[in-house]
A = this chain, B = another copy of it.
Amino acid sequence: MAPSPIESRRDLAGVSRDLAISVVAGLVLLLFALRTHAAEPLPSWNDTGPKQAVLAFVDKVTREGGSDFVPVDQRIAVFDMDGTLIPEKPLPAAVMPIVEDVKTAATKNPALKQKPAIAALLEGDAAGVAAAGEAGLVDIISAATDGRTTEEVGASTRKVLETVKDPRYGKPYTELAYQPMVELVNHLHENGFQVWICSGSPVLFTRQFPRSTFGIPPQQILGSSVHTQFVERDGRTVLVYTNKIDHINDKEGKPVTIHLAIGQRPLFVGGNVGNGGDIAMMRYSKDRAGPSFQLLINHDDAAREFAYAEKDGYSLDAAKKYGFNVVSIAKDWATIFRDPSSPSP
């Protein structure tokens, strides 16, 4: 007996048809997901100049065959951390574990409080810390690390970062990354960029942020560094911090660090107005042969975040002179922090 049309469909092509339907359904879902995603890559940004400029830049450097196409191995993005990815007022996040560690050391050894930089730090006197200069920094870092191993300092830092709350927002620092910048890092990752942080804060503290904070692995976090020494303790090899600062990663020190760690000029650099610390690495990127993009964040939103700038207008002047893109937090960011009740991006 000849099968009826309906039966013949089931009998003759049932298995492969079911598979095909699954595959097609999967492709439709995937296309829908890609379309939805591509339609709104930076949802926390207002649809103003900086967002449009970022999207146009990423589009042109990733379009194969285009005159501005940049191969994947040259898609290096570098961001400052404090004030660029996370608030730096009233104090940068990395200062919190330093203060806790110095408190512990000063309890053990009260003579440390005689050192001007340490006294100023414990009183929360930022100007006093700055006045003590590099010698003061050495005193502070020596007290904070206190002959401990890299692993001991890492563990105490993680605890502070996860528990101590920022005084203004009442949240742990690990939850205070700027949502527009997290979206920008994601957008760059999705377009084949390798994303790095190049911060003035010491790596011994900044690398303890959980990877989820910025979406950047610890080995791509660069910063100021303290010398370590390889020794054996109780039969086990360890690295202990010494009293020597190897590198202060600010201003002209940033391109030096980027070159040593990455070995090429970044295609994309993000920094912020505040102390002029990011202009050197932005110029280093701008002088790359071929296209490049520099993003300078202007803290002009006292209501939602902070408003501050250099007295001499150095960073904004440099942005005008060299053609960097300036982000106004007030005008260009619709949201500053992720609403923890909303789903992760």
Interface residues of A (CB under 8 A from B): 2-5, 8-9, 12-13, 16-17, 19-21, 23-24, 73, 150, 194, 203, 207, 211, 217-219, 221, 225, 227-230, 236-239, 246, 252-253, 255-256, 259-264, 280, 283-284, 286-287
Contacts and interface: CB of A to CB of B under 8 A. Distances in A.
B284 A237 contact: yes
A31 to B, nearest CB: 15
22 contacts: A5-B12, A8-B8, A9-B12, A12-B13, A16-B24, A17-B17, A73-B211, A150-B259, A207-B263, A219-B261, A228-B256, A228-B260, A229-B252, A229-B256, A230-B256, A230-B284, A236-B287, A237-B255, A237-B286, A239-B255, A239-B256, A246-B260
A262 B228 CA distance: 14
Chain copies in the assembly?
A: 2
Nearest to A251: B230
A172 to B, nearest CB: 21
Contacts of A194: 219
A265 to B, nearest CB: 9
A2 B3 CA distance: 8
A268 B229 CA distance: 21
Contacts of A2: 2, 4-5
